[in-house]
Amino acid sequence: MQDDDILTRINGLIAEEHELRARLAQGEVSSEEENDRIVSLERALDQCWDLLRRRRARREFGEDPYDAAPPPIDEVDSYQQ
């Protein structure tokens, strides 16, 4: 996956969050459904941003940025506040 693909994925996740919040405001989803999906979206966004940071760090040190791997979910869970 190229960096541009990751950025496209991030934009899609953000759009999905906005759509979900609009559907909640219209009463189309329950707050429990929204909360579960928001947690999932946050994890995916955290993984995408972290992967981009790891790639940038590898580039800065002259390493292959595509050797960077997404963090495991349990690591991403600790990002959330």
pLDDT tens profile 30-76? 888 888 998 899 899 999 999 999 999 999 999 998 888 887 877 77
pLDDT recorded at residue 12 = 95
Contact 44, 10 (CB under 8 A): no
Q: Which residue from 34, 37, 42, 35 is spatially nearest to 76, judged by alpha carbons?
A: 42
